[in-house]
């Protein structure tokens, strides 16, 4: 058990060293804000105002289908026959180019 605990500690040490954990969080949140801003500009209804790496938005099914041709989303709740709530999540590995590409797609819908 001692050896396994040490390995777990090494992971936390690496994450907390030189503010890596904060940098990762900042990046994923910034990528989400690029996408969120595009939804807001188009007037789409956000389920909750979020300042994290998760965006919850209510969209018509045809718009979701267009998004899913290029990006993966999580289906959260069917609101009615035409509208559904989805979740979009960014991560430490989300490139700026992908977030920008997603935002541009939203602006064209």
The pLDDT, as a whole number, for residue 3 is: 65
Domain topology for 24-108 = 3.90.1150
The pLDDT, as a whole number, for residue 9 is: 84
The pLDDT, as a whole number, for residue 35 is: 98
pLDDT digits (tens, 9 = 90+) for 17-33: 999 999 999 999 999 99
The closest alpha carbon to 56, from 71, 38, 73, belongs to: 73
The reported pTM is: 0.86
- Per-block mean pLDDT, blocks of 10 residues, the chain (109 long): 73 90 95 97 92 96 96 96 96 97 97
DSSP state of 89: E
Domain positions in the chain are: 24-108
- Across 25-49, b (16+ Cβ under 10 Å) vs e yields eebbbebbbbbbebbeeeebeeeee
């Amino acid at each position: 058990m001692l050896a396994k605990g040490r390995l777990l500690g090494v992971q936390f040490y690496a994450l907390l060293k030189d503010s890596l954990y904060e940098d990762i969080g900042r990046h994923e949140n910034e990528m989400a804000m690029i996408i969120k801003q595009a939804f807001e500009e188009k007037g789409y209804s956000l389920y909750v105002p979020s300042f994290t790496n998760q965006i919850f938005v209510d969209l018509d099914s045809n718009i979701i289908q267009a998004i899913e041709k290029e990006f993966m989303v999580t289906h959260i709740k069917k609101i009615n026959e035409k509208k559904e709530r989805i979740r979009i999540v960014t991560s430490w590995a989300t490139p700026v180019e992908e977030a920008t590409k997603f935002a541009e797609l939203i602006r064209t819908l």
